Structure 1
Amino acid sequence: MDGSVRTASDDGLQSYNRGNESSLVSALKTLLFFTIMMVTLPIGLYFATKAYLFEGSMKISGVVYVAWNEGTTPKGKGKHD
Structure 2
Amino acid sequence: MQTTTDLRGNDGSLLTVLKTLLIFTIMMITLPIGLYFATKSYVFQGSLGYSSNDSCFYAAIVAVVAVHMILALFVYAAWNEGAQQTRVGKQD
Q: Which structure's relative contact order is higher, taking Cα pairs within 8 Å and 6+ residues apart? A: 2
Q: Write the letter of the residue equivalent to 1:26.
A: T
Q: How many aligned residue pairs are there?
A: 54
**Superposition misfits of 4+ residues, deviation over 2 angstroms:** none
Give 5+ residue unaligned stretches, structure 2: 56-92
Could you state the TM-score of these two structures normalised by the residue count of structure 1? 0.56
- Gap change, CA 1:63 and 1:26, over 3 Å in 2: closer
Greater percentage in helix: 2
Residue of 54, 58, 67 corresponding to 2:48: 58
Q: Write the letter of the residue equivalent to 1:44.
A: G
What is the CA RMSD across the aligned residues, in angstroms?
2.2
The structure number with the bigger radius of gyration is: 1
Give 5+ residue unaligned stretches, structure 1: 1-11, 66-81
How far is the alpha carbon of 1:48 from its aligned partner? 1.2
Who is 1:23 aligned against? 13
